[in-house]
Amino acid sequence: MREEDSNWFSKWEEELPPPEELMPLSQSLITPDLALAFNIPNHHHHAPPPPPQRPPQSPQRNSSAEFDSPEISGAGGGGGGAGSDEPARTLKRPRLVWTPQLHKRFVDAVAHLGIKNAVPKTIMQLMSVDGLTRENVASHLQKYRLYLKRMQSISSGGGGGAASGMDPATDHLFASSPVPAHFLHPGRASSEHFLPFVPVAAAAMQQHHHHQLAVVAPHHHPQLQQQFRHFGNSPPNGQFDHPYMRPSQQQQVQRMGSNGAAVLPPYVEDLESSTPANGRKVLTLFPTGED
């Protein structure tokens, strides 16, 4: 019927940067130890296979540990604690750093899913960022919602100007990506074709063909964000950075032929890991060289 509905996704895809636009990885930033731990060949340039991070939730046990972190996390000796015998099952992963690019991915996924269907699991699947866990997304989503709420409060109450209550440092990340209008006033999209119901792509199950509900059951009522005046959230300038990275590795995200399953183009993360004195690894998505 409406071509718009059918095209919205295509159009959205088009705006995605081609592989040529992909940002060069800065693998060199990866410490030798990390590279070794992740089986990353020491390629000064080029794009080596992404670091196989331990799959988030593996219902099935992969008998073969893809990689085990050597002494980078354990270090020291003296027992090392839990890591001695046990495989990388309960290993702590490096802390994820949400770069503007990654956040952009996040926003895009949420935007196209709709607030209603934007749940951590779905978002995670749509983002197709390997290594991303539901927890990562959930945590970020939590903060993102607070951010949106804060913006609503500002525009609504307006007590003292938009600048009030705005933490530059805190909101800077979120400010990097424009907030879709539907986020602010769900249910009523003035000049935006908004899909009332978006069947989640899901389908991204583990290696196994275990079928899971691809759609979120509209059981509960999503708390509707009160509509508020649309205030110019567009960043001053130079906020549009959509340089993506090279396609991610194997990503079992397949689009559902049934309905317009949203599949975001592969996303790759450059990881730059640092090993602070604490020994806690830090996973960093390398920025695309924006300002």
Does 209 bind DNA (CB under 7 A)? Our answer is no
Of 19-27, 134-142, 175-183, 237-245, the window that binds DNA (rule: CB under 7 A) is 134-142
- CB closer to DNA out of 8 and 151: 151
The answer to whether the Cα torsion of 52, 118, 172, 179 is positive or negative is: positive
Cα–Cα distance between 202 and 283 in angstroms, integer? 25
Upper half-sphere CA count for residue 249 (Cβ side, 13 Å): 12
Shortest reach from residue 143's CB to DNA, in Å: 5
Does 222 bind DNA (CB under 7 A)? Our answer is yes
Cα–Cα distance between 219 and 158 in angstroms, integer? 34
Shortest reach from residue 236's CB to DNA, in Å: 19
- CB closer to DNA out of 8 and 115: 115
Does 253 bind DNA (CB under 7 A)? Our answer is no
Cα 268 from chain centroid (whole Å):
10
- CB closer to DNA out of 148 and 268: 148
Which 87-126 positions form the footprint of DNA (CB under 7 A)?
Answer: 92-93, 95-98, 119-122
* In contact, 288 and 23? CB cutoff 8 Å: yes
Cα–Cα distance between 230 and 186 in angstroms, integer? 12
Does 177 bind DNA (CB under 7 A)? Our answer is no
Cα–Cα distance between 68 and 181 in angstroms, integer? 44
Cα–Cα distance between 77 and 70 in angstroms, integer? 11
Residue in 54, 105, 112, 140 binding DNA, rule: CB under 7 A: 140
Sites of contact with DNA (CB under 7 A): 57, 59, 92-93, 95-98, 119-122, 134-136, 138-143, 145, 169-170, 173, 212, 216, 219-220, 222-223, 283
